[in-house]
Amino acid sequence: MVSAQSLARPGHGGNLSWAASIAGCSVSDVLDFSASINPWGPPQSALEAIQTHLGDLKAYPDPQYRVLREALSQIHSPLEPDWILPGNGAAELLTWAGWDLAQHQATYLPTPAFGDYRRSLSAFQASVIEWPLSEREGQWLLTAPGLDKRGGLLINNPHNPTGRLFERDVLIPFLEQFDLVVVDEAFMDFLPPQDQQSLVDLVPEYKNLVILRSLTKFYSIPGLRLGYAIAHPSRLHRWQRWRDPWPVNVLAAAVGAAVLGDRAFQQHTWDWLIKARSQLLTGLAELPGLRPYPGAANFLLVYCSQPVPQLQLSLLQRHRILIRDCLSFAELGQHYFRVAIRTEAENQRLLTALTDILSPV
């Protein structure tokens, strides 16, 4: 049996090579609940776009990404394309947001926080003030009486890792209180349009607002790396001057333009998620020692009465299932884990495995 001490744990979900080494199987045999990726993708529209544009590999990408930006502007109408900047995943654009935030006296960071936020802020020696979320009756709340809200704010909505969806009315006052507000909406598209709490429409009114979006999670294309930022054109032009002239490869750009119009895939995802999330939330709540938190995204945060590292190893070794421990979220520690929402059959497989491990003999 492989010990927890003999291998370095990954700091991010989706490390299937690590998981397979623990489980003693091939990577393809691991059922991955650690990375919050849509299990129904990539959609056929993405695969067809790759096949159609293979011939474009012999040429450099359009550095202005006109086709992709036009497609994105139609999704976020009436925004014009110059208010949108595609990137090599939202992570690349987060780097430039980190530089902008570092120019301010301090950046407020609601915690627990996605680990890459600290990476982008520390890269430019930003001063960070932690803003702890408070837990009340199974909900994570953003409350901070008495804070001097000057400088920058970096927050995600829905929140990762808690899954909490902040209403617009909670976030809008921050646009007047902070000098720069960066809202990471990487998981917002998992909500049907009528349920989203996006601030995209406010970008033209607030020059200090930046929205980051990801296309890799909803469309299940993390290997292609594709995201985009929405902000005032003067900010995006500055970011463009700093970075690689061709950060998005031609296949990623083609896929992005194609999937944005795939209404059937989008509706199928929204219909699936509502039912599958409820199934998994209910099943987890019925298991001894677990307390799942309701969430708005395609993952659930779960409190576990026993240390999660051993539970994670047992799931891998006995069932070849990988869950995301929360050791990288310092505020959570070893008694929390996060699981992606997968198909109903796969969710049941996880519930069965957890029952096997957690139920008294």
Q: What angle do CA 317, 320, 321 make, to 5 degrees?
A: 115
Q: How high is the pLDDT of residue 317?
A: 96
pLDDT at residue 137, as a whole number: 77
Amino acid identity of residue 157, one-letter, is: N
Position 330 scores a pLDDT of 84
Per-residue confidence (pLDDT) for residue 4, from 0 to 100:
40
Report pLDDT for 10.
60
State the DSSP string of 114-150: -HHHHHHHHTTT--EEEEE-EEETTEEE---TT----
Residue 1 confidence (pLDDT): 40
pLDDT for the residue numbered 135: 87
Of 289, 274, 248, nearest in space to 344 by CA: 274
CA distance 185 to 156: 6
What is each CA distance from 306 to 162, 291, 311, 338, in whole angstroms? 19, 12, 8, 14
Give the C-alpha separation, 322 to 190, whole Å: 22
Whether residue 14 contacts residue 34, with contact meaning beta carbons closer than 8 Å, is answered with yes
pTM (2 d.p.): 0.93
Predicted local confidence at residue 6, as pLDDT: 45
CA distances from 191 to 153, 163, 211, 269, 293 (A): 23, 12, 16, 9, 17
Consecutive sets of 10 residues in the chain, 361 residues long: mean pLDDT of each?
49 80 95 96 97 97 97 97 97 97 95 94 96 87 71 97 96 94 98 97 98 97 97 98 95 98 98 98 97 97 96 96 93 95 98 94 60
Token couple for 93: 């654009």
**Each residue of 150-190: pLDDT tens digit?**
899 999 999 999 999 999 999 999 999 999 999 999 999 99
SS3 1: coil
